[in-house]
Amino acid sequence: MIAHAGAYGCDHNEMEKDVIPVLKKLMKNHSNLMIDISGLKFEHLLSTLKSFDPKRILFGSDALYYDQWATMLKLAHAVKTLKMNIEDTLAQIISINPSKNIFDRIVDV
C-alpha cells in the first residue's frame, strides 16, 4: 500500500508533475499495489481519483491522525465533484477493496 497516494508533504503541482507519473508506472508494473488516500488535501484527492481506478484505492489507515468522518465527507464530495457514481465508488473504496485486499488475506494462526 502506498500511503497518502505517495504525496505526503507535496504541493499539488508536485503531485501532478512528479508523483502521479511515478505511481502510474508502479501501479502498471505491480498489480498488488494499492493507494491509500488518508490525509490527502481535497485537490490531491481529486487528482488521485481522476488518475487511478477506484479498485486500486483504499480509504485510509490513519484513524488516529485524521478525523475519519471528515475524510469520508471529503471523499464523497470529491466523488460527486468528479461526477462519479457515488454509491458504487464509495462502496468500492471503503468496503470492497479493504475486504478483498486486506481482510481476505488475514489468516488465522
Nine-digit cell string for 102: 486486506
The range of the structural domain enclosing residue 84 comes to 3-105
Pull the grid cell for residue 82: 468528479
Give per-residue pLDDT as tens, 35-62. 999 889 999 999 999 999 999 999 876 7
pLDDT of the chain along its 109 residues, tens only?
Answer: 899 999 999 999 999 999 999 999 999 999 999 999 988 999 999 999 999 999 999 987 676 777 888 889 999 999 999 999 999 999 999 999 988 887 776 555 4
Asked if 94 and 59 count as a contact pair (C-beta separation under 8 A), the reply is yes
On the CB side of 98, CA atoms within 13 Å amount to 11
- Domain tally for the chain? 1
State how beta strands 35-36 and 57-58 pair. Answer: parallel
Structure pTM? Answer: 0.88
